[in-house]
Amino acid sequence: MKIYRFFTQNMALAIGSSILAFAILVSALGPFISPQAATEQHILDRLQGPSAKYFLGTDQYGRDLLSRTLLGGRTSLILGVGAVALGLFLGIPIGLLTGYFKGKTDEIVMRFMDTLLSFPSLLMALLIITALGASMSHAMLAIGIANCPGISRIVRSATLSVRTEEFVLAAEARGESHFYIMFWEIFPNILPPIIIEATIRIGFAILIGASLSFLGLGVQPPLADWGLMIRDSREYLFLSSWPLLCPGVALGITIIGFNLFGDGLRDVIGGTE
């Protein structure tokens, strides 16, 4: 009953949680529930609409769109979550160090982070991909690096807000090491804003990943990916809209789910502080 009230009092969190639970479940089970292999071609059945054999129709190569959409979701989620995890791995230590030590260290590092923030995330990812080459792993690395400056700023701001709290001063008085204070005293107390920021960023990371794949710089064929599916379907839009509609709707709903979940989580955590 308490869980029911918790979600009904925050519709954004309830809807976002439902969307994400469904997206994660079908993506995880994609290889097992897909009616056909995602790369299996049926040229005679190309650009077919929904039917008993192909529930969402087929693409220009006669591949089953339901199977490709399910497996494309798995690829997109792995890319988005992996990129944000990498951004957290890079950004959290930078934010903790600059917020804890302040002074010249803070000024030098934050000016460099501000310089990186002046570049749009997609543009920075494009620059990195151009230097490294097109692949899913490079796309994940590029998006993770692009997320690092923003995450480090959030962590720094949260660290500054608790830097002078009594529990931090008590740890310093006990002679605890800087590493211990940062990661065992400060970090657990700034987790809520980090979790909220990471949740919202996953949706944007999935969108950037799809954009890179659309440009041919992210996930490469024959892997199924929503951005790649949208790119391949453009030429056949007037023959069949299903190859564009399926990945487009899945991409939009998933991003909305992450944004709603993050907003709802922010309201809940903000209301308990």
Task: Return the CATH number of 2-272, one of 3.40.50.1980, 1.10.10.10, 1.10.645.10, 1.10.3720.10.
Answer: 1.10.3720.10
The tens digit of pLDDT for each residue in 35-83 reads 787 778 888 888 888 888 888 888 888 888 988 898 888 889 999 999 9
| pLDDT value at residue 5 | 57
Q: What are the boundaries of each domain within the chain?
A: 2-272
Compute the distance between CA of residue 252 and CA of residue 246 in angstroms, rounded to an integer. Answer: 10
- Show the 3-state SS of 173-228: HCCCCHHHHHHHHHHHHHHHHHHHHHHHHHHHHHHHHHHHHHCCCCCCCCCCCHHH
Q: Mean pLDDT over residues 206-217, rounded?
A: 90
pLDDT in tens, 113-156: 888 888 888 888 888 888 888 888 899 999 999 999 999 999 99
Q: What is the chain's mean pLDDT, rounded?
A: 86
What mean pLDDT comes out for the span 152-180?
Answer: 89
7 pLDDT above the threshold of 60 = no
The rounded percent of the chain whose pLDDT value lies above 90 is 27
What is the end-to-end Cα distance of the chain in Å, rounded? 23
| Higher pLDDT, residue 7 or 16 | 16
Pick from 178, 235, 219: nearest CA to 59:
235
Query: Stretch 159-172: mean pLDDT, rounded?
Result: 88
Q: Give the integer Cα–Cα distance in Å for 269 and 257.
A: 18
Q: In Å, how far from its chain's centre is CA 123?
A: 17
The token duo for 5 is 């009230």
Place of tokens 């800087």: 178
pLDDT (0 to 100) of residue 272:
46
Q: Over the stretch 222-241, which tens digit does the pLDDT of each residue have?
A: 788 898 889 988 888 888 88
Composition of the chain by helix, strand, coil, percent to 5: 75, 0, 20
Distance of CA 249 to the CA centre of its chain: 17
Q: Who contacts 271 (Cβ-Cβ below 8 Å, separation ≥6)?
A: none
pLDDT at 255 > cutoff 70: yes
